[in-house]
Amino acid sequence: MWYHIDPSSGTPIYRQLVEQVQQAVASGVLRAGDRLPSVRDLAVELAVNPNTVAKAYQELERAGVIETPRGKGSFIADRDHTVTEEERLRQFIEAADKLVADAYRLRIGSERAAALFAERLAEAERRRSGE
Amino acid sequence: MSDVAIRLAGLTKRYGEKVALSAVEMVVPTGSFSALLGPNGAGKTTLIRCLTGMIRPDGGAGTVLGVPVGPGYPPTALKSRIGYVAQTQALPERMTAQELIGLCRGVQPRWNDAIVKRYLDLFALPMKQVVRQMSGGMKSQLALTLVMGGQPELLILDEPTMGLDPKNRHQYLQVLLADSIETGCTVLLSSHDLHQIERLADRATILVGGRVAVSGAIDDLKADEKRVRIAGAVEEAVVLGVEGVRRAVKEPGGWLLFVSGASEGLVERLRGLPGVTGVQVFSQSLEEIFLSYA
């Protein structure tokens, strides 16, 4: 499994891994039940410190993106049952606030922003539901 | 086994008038992949030579794998537990890989032929070619093979991947990483390739002018060390007076600040300075942190 690591970016490498796994799930490349490589294998593959990979996996587990049943490896979790409703809402609102700031900065009006977002949602839905 | 492979306290080394190492404090946890960084002449090689026992420090104390660094260091028993790959590969020019392996097998108490064979196969090293006829990359690969064959507990590497092309370098680092994970061997790596270090290492110590500038887990360093741009007419003394600001560089319309121990509070304090009209915080890569000290 390949991920793009950019050491020249100020973003910690474990964060880069977390974001890319999340993107892979959002875009349907990784699906519920898919197995992730072991910490050791991914570390060696990417030539990245194993603690960095372990930290990324811990973060993904905390965010409910992956599950690690004891001794069985790491798997992409079903999207809804591991994280509380409250936590999911909190994360979504945080992301939405960033988008709202961008809309203001880029002078995209509320109506246009909402329409664009709906469009993107439908597009992602189409991709996921299988082409 | 102790949880600390290397601990140095106030280590000092002078060459006549010149201070090569000044009160160096450093901790390398067992099993970690630690980096030793610094500009040329910062004292990295001197420090490594103190650790391997090639030179003796003038002051301070330290332990390497539990053995005190001092007169009589390193005892013979310790020598075989430390693997050292030097910057300039000092392999005998007239010997073949086969002869060198035979030589090492004779002196290394924990020599393991299976490990050596795995490395030889992986690197596809010719057994009957003399070192003189080998490329720089092949010498680097052979040096690692000879050191790993002795199953060291502490591996010290000084610019080990010089002369390797990108493909071979990646392979070299992959096998190094895989084996250090497997064996729990502690790695101390000195290199100028900071992007490579940022991937591989979990900890870094930056030496500047023989002193430790910063040392710690790389993620902590990145969380702590920021650059902050502020806009507005503010006096230098005022910005330098803010806790955490260690350097200020004048820019058109404001200052670029180098801060340590960055926190939410720091940004607020800067924003609150009279005359400040804007504050922008930048995360730094390890290379940028290095440059901010070097």
Q: Mutating which of B170, B198, B287 best tests the A interface, going by the most A Cβ atoms within 10 A?
A: B198
B219 touches chain A (CB under 8 A): yes
CA-closest candidate to residue B51, choices B156, B150, B206: B156
Helix, strand or coil, per DSSP, at residue B130: strand
* Domain harbouring B57, CATH code: 3.40.50.300
| Same domain as B197, residue B274 | no
- Label residue A62 left, alpha or beta by phi (over 0 means left) and psi (-120 to 50 means alpha): alpha
B200 touches chain A (CB under 8 A): yes
Q: What burial letters (b/e) apply to B170-182, b meaning 16+ CB within 10 Å?
A: ebbbbbbbbbbbe
- Distance, CA of B253 to CA of A127 (rounded, Å): 48
Of the residues B168, B192, B216, which one is the last residue of a structural domain? B216
Q: Mutating which of B219, B221, B227 best tests the A interface, going by the most A Cβ atoms within 10 A?
A: B219
Structural domain range at position B231: 225-293
Residue in chain A nearest B33 by alpha carbon: A49
Chain A residue numbers with beta carbons less than 8 Å from the beta carbon of B222 are 10, 12
pLDDT of residue B112: 94
| Same domain as B184, residue B39 | yes
| Same domain as B104, residue B239 | no
A50 touches chain B (CB under 8 A): yes
ipTM more than 0.90?
A: no
| Contact criterion met (CB < 8 Å) for A44 and B178 | yes
pLDDT tens digits, one per residue of A113-125: 999 999 999 988 8
Query: Taking residues B80-103, what's their average pLDDT?
Result: 89
Nearest to A43 among B181, B219, B287 (CB): B181
* Average pLDDT along chain B: 92
Distance, in angstroms, between B14 CA and closest chain A CA? 35
| Contact criterion met (CB < 8 Å) for B200 and A48 | yes
| Same domain as B267, residue B130 | no
- Distance, CA of B102 to CA of B90 (rounded, Å): 17
Question: CA torsion angle for B39, B294, B64, B59 (degrees, to 10)?
Answer: 100
Contact call for residues A69 and A27 (beta carbons, < 8 A): no
Nearest to A12 among B170, B196, B219 (CB): B219
| Same domain as B232, residue B148 | no
C-alpha angle A24-A30-A31 in degrees, rounded to nearest 5:
135
Higher pLDDT, A23 or B133: B133
Distances (CA, A) of B27 to B10, B33, B53, B59, B195: 12, 12, 18, 17, 22
* Domain harbouring B252, CATH code: 3.30.70.260
- Distance, CA of B222 to CA of A39 (rounded, Å): 22
* Average pLDDT along chain A: 88
Nearest to B33 among A7, A12, A49 (CB): A49
Strands B154-158 and B82-85: parallel
| Same domain as B252, residue B121 | no
pLDDT tens digits, one per residue of A77-90: 987 555 667 777 88
Domain count within chain B = 2
| Same domain as B208, residue B272 | no
| Same domain as B32, residue B130 | yes
Show the tokens assigned to B88. Answer: 């300039």
| Contact criterion met (CB < 8 Å) for A44 and B174 | yes
Domain segments of chain A: what residues? 13-76, 85-128
- Distance, CA of B206 to CA of B120 (rounded, Å): 34
- Distance, CA of B162 to CA of B67 (rounded, Å): 31
Query: Taking residues B89-102, what's their average pLDDT?
Result: 91
Which CATH code is given to the segment(s) A13-76?
A: 1.10.10.10
Beta bridge partners of B96: B130
Of the residues B152, B187, B216, which one is the last residue of a structural domain? B216
In sequence order, which residues have a C-beta less than 8 Å from that of residue A54 and are 6 or more positions away?
A39
Of the residues B170, B193, B216, which one is the last residue of a structural domain? B216
pLDDT tens digits, one per residue of B214-253: 999 998 999 899 999 999 999 999 999 998 899 999 999 9
Whether A34 has a pLDDT exceeding 80, the answer reads yes
B37 touches chain A (CB under 8 A): no
